[in-house]
């Protein structure tokens, strides 16, 4: 059976998949049903709320174990994690860094914090992430490999790194990207902010780049209130990450000596306590989110002209945020759909405004980004909390 597409039929389809006993269904609400109160209370009772305490170490260990990386370094948020990642791989002022134009603002901002220049890449519909084949063709045209690295023939700047992002938790196509990075001498830094619990060909996202960033903001799959982490398999980079995120202070019984410009990016123990409790529930969250995604996928198969995003064969996604994609011909229905659902207490959101359209990034270099522009017009995120 197929139903005719309309904002009303789409609203009904969403409603049939989410609880019907509430006035308001958010896009992604945090879920605290484990040891959150106990662990946070322990912090308060012992006075270890800030930059020292056992929960930070525990949180880092759990994170490394879960993602399969050798080391995780907890920081204040995902944006700070990205900033540190870029520093660690040697991104410097006036370098160019490749990233999808279809991403959250933090990816571009972290590059700008380094004094580097975001260089925007198109996305593909199969993953909603950076299109590695299109990037390869583009680099064939613009890149020149020299002993000192990869250079942009047209701007003469060094191209230092690529930052793919796993959009709404869905893994980007990593194999061709890893290969491309080797060929062009580019550092691979994953923005895995949204993809905790997502795997590409059996290996966790964030375990492919030399360094990767995750986020534990309030709307992510597990939260520390605000928080993030740097993931890496390189012990010396992890050590350096710890050092520069803790003001680059050289350990000493009483001296305050800092050997470089560091950052106060360390995750407070209080936030880590929340994170430890959240982490215990991650397997349950993942299970529930897959079940919700399945329900959406089934019901949207009955409506023509729209589809619910499904993971490609190489991916196991955390389904952090479920995605509806209207067909090209239905794209103009998007705003009416946003209007109706939000008025009815079902929170939905459009795609982020593409980075190259924002005032501070509109002059940055970019390739043809027509696919990202098409996706931007047709995409809607629908409620994806743990129900
Ligand atoms: C959430 C997010 C970040 C940054 O995380 P914060 O913890 O909010 O700083 C970075 N990139 C993407 C794609 C995100 O979704």
Per-residue pLDDT reduced to its tens digit, 90-103:
999 999 999 999 99
Position 263 in a domain: yes
Measure 52 CA to ligand 1 centroid, in angstroms: 25
| Banded pLDDT at 1 (limits 50, 70, 90) | low
In a domain, 258, yes or no: yes
Site residues for ligand 1, CB cut-off 6 Å: 77-79, 103-104, 106-107, 165, 191, 193-194, 215, 217, 228
**Are 138 and 131 contacting, i.e. CB atoms less than 8 angstroms apart?**
no
What CATH number corresponds to the domain at position 256? Answer: 3.40.640.10
Per the prediction, the chain carries an average pLDDT of: 97
Of ligand 1's listed atoms, the one at least distance from the Cα of 226 is 7
Name the residue at shortest CA distance from atom 4 of ligand 1. Answer: 78
In-domain check, residue 349: no
CA of 196 to the centre of ligand 1 (A): 12
Q: Maximum Cα–Cα distance for the chain, whole Å?
A: 74
Atom of ligand 1 nearest to the CA of 228: 7
Asked, for residue 203, whether it belongs to a domain, the answer is yes
Rounded mean pLDDT, 63-84: 98
- Residue closest via CA to ligand 1's atom 6 equals 78
What length does the chain have? Answer: 387
50 has a pLDDT exceeding 90 = no
Structure-block tokens of residue 188 = 């691979």
> 207 is in which domain, residue-wise?
36-281
Residue 221: pLDDT above 80? yes
Of all protein residues, the one whose alpha carbon is nearest to atom 13 of ligand 1 is: 104
**Domains in the chain, number:** 1
How many other C-beta atoms are found inside a 10 Å radius of the C-beta of residue 45? 8
Ligand 1 centroid to Cα of residue 20, in Å, is 30
Of 100, 194, 209, 384, the residue with max ligand 1 atoms within 8 A of its CB, to mutate for a pocket test, comes to 194
Determine, yes or no, domain membership for 325.
Answer: no
Distance 226 CA to ligand 1 centre (A): 10
Q: Which of 27, 30, 76, 78 for mutating ligand 1's site (highest number of atoms within 8 Å of CB)?
A: 78
Tell me which of 53 and 385 has the higher pLDDT: 385
Query: In the predicted model, what is the mean pLDDT of residues 337-366?
Result: 98
Residue 138 and residue 115 in contact, taking contact as beta carbons nearer than 8 Å: no
User: For ligand 1, atom 7, which residue shows the shortest CA distance?
Assistant: 78
Residue 152 alpha carbon to ligand 1 centre in Å = 28
In a domain, 8, yes or no: no
**Residue 13 to residue 7: CA distance in whole angstroms:** 10
Q: Quick one: average pLDDT of 49-74?
A: 94
Name residue 326's beta-bridge partners. 306
Say which DSSP state 272 is in. H
Share above pLDDT 70 across residues of the chain, in percent, rounded to a whole number: 100
Does the residue 52 lie in any domain?
Answer: yes
Is the pLDDT confidence value at 378 over 80?
A: yes
Q: With bands split at pLDDT 50, 70 and 90, how would you rate the model's confidence at 377?
A: very high
pLDDT at 49: 81
- Cα of 189 vs centre of ligand 1, distance in Å, is 14
Whose CA is closest to 17, among 283, 321, 300, 282?
Answer: 300
337-347: average pLDDT: 98
In a domain, residue 80? The reply is yes
Token readout for 374 is 């098409």
**Cα–Cα separations (whole angstroms), residue 239 to 70, 247, 282:** 12, 13, 27
Q: Place 53 in a pLDDT band, splitting at 50, 70 and 90.
A: confident
Distance 99 CA to ligand 1 centre (A): 14
The alpha carbon of 94 and the centre of ligand 1 are apart by a number of angstroms equal to 23
Bridge partners (DSSP) of residue 152 are 143
Tokens found for residue 291: 């079940």
**Quick one: pLDDT at residue 43?**
92
């Amino acid at each position: 059976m197929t139903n005719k597409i309309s904002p009303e039929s789409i609203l009904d389809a969403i409603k049939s998949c989410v609880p019907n006993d509430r006035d308001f269904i958010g896009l992604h609400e945090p879920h605290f049903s484990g040891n959150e109160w106990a662990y946070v209370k322990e912090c308060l009772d012992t006075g270890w709320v800030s930059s020292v305490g056992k929960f930070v170490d525990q949180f880092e260990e759990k994170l490394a174990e879960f993602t399969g990386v050798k080391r995780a370094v907890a920081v204040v948020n995902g944006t700070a994690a990205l900033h540190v990642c870029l520093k660690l791989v040697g991104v410097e002022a006036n370098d160019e860094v490749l990233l999808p134009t279809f991403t959250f603002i933090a990816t571009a901002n972290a590059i700008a914090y380094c004094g580097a220049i975001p260089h925007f890449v198109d996305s593909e519909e199969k993953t909603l992430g950076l299109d590695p084949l299109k990037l390869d063709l583009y680099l064939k045209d613009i890149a020149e490999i020299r002993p000192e690295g990869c250079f942009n023939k047209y701007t003469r700047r060094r191209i230092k790194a690529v930052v793919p992002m796993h959009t709404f938790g869905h893994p980007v196509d990593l194999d061709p990207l890893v290969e491309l990075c080797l060929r062009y001498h580019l550092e691979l830094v994953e923005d895995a902010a949204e993809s905790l619990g997502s795997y590409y060909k059996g290996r966790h996202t964030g375990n492919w780049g030399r360094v990767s960033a995750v986020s534990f903001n309030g709307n992510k799959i597990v939260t520390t209130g605000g928080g993030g982490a740097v993931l890496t398999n390189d012990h010396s980079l992890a050590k350096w990450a710890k050092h520069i995120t803790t003001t680059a202070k050289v350990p000493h019984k009483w001296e305050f000596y800092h050997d470089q410009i560091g950052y106060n990016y360390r995750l407070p123990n209080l936030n880590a306590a929340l994170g430890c409790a959240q982490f215990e529930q991650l397997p349950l969250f993942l299970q529930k989110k897959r079940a919700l995604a399945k329900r959406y996928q089934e019901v949207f198969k009955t409506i023509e002209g729209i589809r619910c995003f499904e993971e490609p064969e190489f991916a196991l996604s955390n389904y952090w945020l479920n995605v509806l994609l209207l067909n090209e011909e239905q794209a103009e229905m998007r705003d009416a759909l946003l209007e109706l659902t939000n008025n009815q207490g079902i929170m939905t959101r459009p795609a982020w405004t593409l980075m190259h359209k924002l005032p501070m990034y509109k002059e940055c270099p970019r390739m043809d980004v027509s696919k990202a522009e098409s996706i931007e017009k047709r995409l809607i995120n629908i409620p994806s909390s743990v129900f």
